């Protein structure tokens, strides 16, 4: 039988229908978790639910916008009702870089929208589940931020600032909750081929072999690539790891501006140079 590091654990995944969250909910179910799958998109949630059930997994679906405090409460209540009143894992996955554009052209409404989408619900979901985790003296929280919280990204200053907030929240909360038996970590993705950033949009009709020049491991990330790291952080395998943000980026952070030349003719940090 497949190793099941989350066997019978209740795991909440926000945005668990598609993209990276879809990979996480499917993998966590295979790892034995009772997955409480929240998604705003009924079709994506239902597809993930059906696949998990067909695979012999356990899932409870809570369709709704995680920016809405009523939905957060519904997710928490569903988690408490799903098993034995425990909440073992929370994955705060929802986030989006849009609306983006040059900072000078953004509005206060844009900033508020990015806050709601990238940071506020992380606070709210975490605040909703930690009383249970503190009471049970165990729990693992995995946040999903972005490599753009480490490096500068033009046209996305506010998104990057709120995700740096996710990283700082991860570290501070890990210190605060360590003695309660709760760990808090994050993954920082890059280059995922998802609904939000499809490979076709990143390529924009260019030669797909260019991906080898852009990403050290030579391909875009698949949802399961990120889910595997989230599983490690969620499970007891990482029992002595807390307060860390793990880049899951195929090497882009390490490359930090270096690109392979076509046909493996060395590297350059001046991509337009001959
Ligand atoms: N795609 C990348 O390369 C990349 C890079 C860095 C960081 N990230 C981060 O990873 C996370 C997931 O990104 P993705 O590319 O998988 O996104 P995605 O848009 O492909 O998928 C997001 C999922 O969340 C759901 N969702 C969206 N808004 C929601 C809401 N308000 N309430 C509930 N569910 C909602 C969507 O329906 C979808 O199922 C985000 O936090 C994103 O910022 C992604």
Q: What is the DSSP string of the chain?
A: ----TTTT-EEEEET-SSHHHHHHHHHHHHTT-EEEEEES-HHHHHHHHHHHHHTT-EEEEEES-TTSHHHHHHHHHHHHHHTTS---EEEE------S-S-GGG--HHHHHHHHIIIIIHHHHHHHHHHHHHHHHT-EEEEEE--GGGTS--TT-HHHHHHHHHHHHHHHHHHHHHGGGTEEEEEEEE-SB-SSSS-HHHHHTTS-GGGHHHHSTTSS-B-HHHHHHHHHHHHSGGGTT--S-EEEESTTHHHHTT-EEPGGG--EESSTT--
**Residue 170: per-residue pLDDT:** 99
Tokens 């970590």 identify what position? 185
Residue 259 lies in a domain: no
272 within domain boundaries? no
- What confidence score (pLDDT) does residue 83 get? 85
261 lies in a domain? no
Name which of 26-35, 249-258, 263-272 the model is least confident about: 263-272
The CA 179 to ligand 1 mean position distance, Å, reads: 31
Residue 3 inside a domain? The answer is no
In a domain, residue 129? The reply is yes
Measured by CA distance, the residue closest to atom 36 of ligand 1 is: 15
Q: What is the number of the ligand 1 atom nearest to the C-alpha of 45?
A: 39
Structural domains in the chain (count) = 1
Cα separation of 45 and 155, whole Å? Answer: 31
Ramachandran angles phi, psi of 98, nearest 5°: -95, 150
Closest atom of ligand 1 relative to the 15 alpha carbon: 24
Range of the domain at 184: 10-252
Ligand 1: residues with CB < 6 A are 14-15, 17-22, 38-41, 44, 65-67, 93-96, 144, 146, 189-192, 194-197
Neighbours of 178 (CB within 10 A): 13
The CA–CA distances, whole Å, from 166 to 5, 60, 170, 172 equal 26, 26, 6, 10
Residue among 45, 75, 196 to mutate when testing ligand 1 (max atoms within 8 A of CB): 196
In terms of Cα–Cα distance, which of 237, 242, 235, 270 is closest to 184?
Answer: 242
CB of 45 within 8 A of CB of 36? Answer: no
**Catalytic residue list contains 159:** yes
Sign of CA dihedral 251, 255, 257, 259: negative
Which pLDDT score, from 0 to 100, does residue 125 have? Answer: 99
Ligand 1 centroid from CA 1, angstroms? 31
Q: Is the pLDDT of residue 12 over 80?
A: yes
- pLDDT in the model for residue 3: 83
The closest residue, in CA terms, to atom 5 on ligand 1 is: 190
Q: What percent of the chain has pLDDT over 70?
A: 99
Tell me, what's the pLDDT at 273? 61
Distance, C-alpha 274 to centroid of its chain: 37
Q: Kindly report which listed range (63-67, 136-140, 257-261, 269-273) carries the lowest average pLDDT score.
A: 269-273
Distance, CA 42 to ligand 1 centroid (Å)?
15
Taking the mean position of all CA atoms in its chain, how far away is CA 217? 20
What pLDDT band is residue 272 in, cutting at 50, 70 and 90?
A: confident
What is the 263 CA–ligand 1 centroid distance (Å)? 33
Catalytic residue among 159, 226, 240, 259: 159
Q: Which atom of ligand 1 is nearest to the CA of 65?
A: 32
What's the CATH code of the domain at 171? Answer: 3.40.50.720
Q: Is residue 266 included in any domain, yes or no?
A: no
Tell me the two tokens of residue 119.
Answer: 């940071």
Q: Which residues on neighbouring strands pair with residue 37, listed in sequence order?
A: 13, 61
Average pLDDT over residues 3-9: 95
Q: What is the pTM assigned to this prediction?
A: 0.98
Q: How does residue 180 score in pLDDT terms, banded at 50, 70 and 90?
A: very high
Of the candidates 1, 54, 12, 14, the residue with the CA atom closest to the CA atom of residue 34:
12
Check pLDDT > 80 for residue 274: no
Question: Has residue 241 got a pLDDT over 60?
Answer: yes
Q: Is residue 2 part of a domain?
A: no
For 125-176, how does the pLDDT look when each residue is reduced to its tens digit (9 = 90+)?
999 999 999 999 999 999 999 999 999 999 999 999 999 999 999 999 999 9
Average pLDDT, the chain: 97
């Amino acid at each position: 039988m497949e190793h099941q590091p989350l066997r019978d654990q209740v795991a909440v995944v926000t945005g668990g229908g598609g993209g990276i969250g879809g990979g996480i909910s499917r993998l966590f179910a295979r790892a034995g978790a009772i997955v409480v799958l929240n998604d705003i998109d009924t079709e994506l949630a239902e597809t993930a639910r059906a696949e998990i059930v067909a695979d012999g997994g356990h899932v409870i679906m809570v369709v709704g916008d995680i920016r809405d405090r009523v939905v957060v409460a519904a997710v928490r209540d569903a988690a408490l009702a799903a098993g034995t009143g425990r909440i073992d894992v929370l994955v705060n996955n929802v986030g989006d870089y849009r609306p983006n554009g040059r900072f000078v052209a953004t509005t206060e409404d844009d900033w508020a929208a990015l806050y709601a989408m990238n940071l506020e619900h992380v606070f709210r979901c975490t605040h909703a589940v930690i009383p249970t985790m503190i009471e049970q003296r165990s729990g693992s929280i995995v946040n999903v931020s972005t490599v753009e919280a480490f490096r500068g990204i033009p046209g996305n200053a506010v998104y990057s600032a709120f995700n740096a907030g996710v990283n700082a929240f991860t570290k501070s909360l890990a210190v605060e909750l360590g003695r309660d038996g709760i760990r808090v970590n994050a993954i920082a993705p890059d280059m995922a081929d998802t609904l939000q950033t499809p490979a076709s949009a990143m390529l924009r009709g260019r030669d797909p072999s260019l991906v080898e020049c852009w990403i050290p491991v030579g391909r875009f990330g698949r949802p399961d690539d990120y889910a595997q790291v989230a599983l490690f952080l969620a499970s007891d395998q990482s029992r002595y790891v807390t307060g860390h943000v793990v880049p899951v980026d195929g090497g882009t952070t390490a490359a930090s501006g270096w690109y392979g030349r076509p046909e493996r003719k060395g590297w350059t940090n001046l991509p337009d140079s001959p």
